[in-house]
Amino acid sequence: MILKNLKRFIPIRYVLGLLLMVMINVFLFFGTYYITCSYEKKAMEQLTSNVEKQCSMLADQVSLNGISAYNMTNISGDRGSNLDYMEKLANDIGGRVLIVDSNFQIVSDTYNTNNGQFYVTGDLIQAFMGEDTGYSYVGDDYVQVISCVYNQESGDICALVLAQASVKRIRDIPQSLEDERGALVGGFVWISLVLTMILGLWFGM
């Protein structure tokens, strides 16, 4: 009896149209969410892998040339080309490169703001102990990777190279996907309304 009354006041075409719109919106929400998460994860893996390679190459150069060749706290005539490489790396990753010695003192900073200052974090302590630190976030817009500089004679870790790469570009893509989802939802709402009218005419025949 109740169903008969509902059918009298709510035509089936509107029910079907409403269900269709709900299904489309649910599909778009979960579909966009999955695509966003998958993209961000893959892009982050590619970014950190690339930065790790470049950071490791710089660490090898520091080990070969010596920390003094990269020391921005002292004036040295043989450090120009070495610092140019550091600055180029910083520009390539859209961020910052630092070299921290075994006393946790920053000997080189491409921002040129913290040279000579001490910098101690849990990641740095673990890295000096030879543990793999992977990557970590610095604020909301940067991801940090650490490579060890080894003393060529003793094989001990004598310094660390920190590369802080910008993730802003990666974060901007998911936002654009969210905006596109909004446009798609609007388009599918109109399509659903048209289909509702067609279904109404079909069931009204």
Tokens of 51: 């930065």
Neighbours of 160 (CB within 10 A): 24
Tell me the backbone φ, ψ of residue 134, rounded to 5 degrees: 60, -130
Q: Around 98, how many Cα atoms within 13 Å sit in the side-chain half-sphere?
A: 24
What's the confidence (pLDDT) of residue 6?
Answer: 44
Whole-angstrom distance, CA of residue 175 vs CA of residue 178? 5
Q: Residue 192 is which amino acid?
A: S
pLDDT (tens digit per residue) in 73-130: 765 555 556 788 888 999 999 999 999 999 999 999 999 899 889 999 999 999 999 9
Angle between helices 80-92 and 12-65 in degrees, nearest 10: 170
Long-range residue pairs from 198-202, CB within 8 A, at least 24 positions apart, any chain: 199/13, 199/16, 199/17, 200/11, 200/13, 200/14, 200/17, 202/13
Q: Is the pLDDT of residue 204 over 80?
A: no
Question: Which letter does DSSP use for residue 94 in this model?
Answer: T
Across residues 29-47, what is the average pLDDT?
A: 74
What pLDDT score was predicted for residue 3?
45
pTM for the full predicted model: 0.68
Between 131 and 180, residue with greater pLDDT: 131
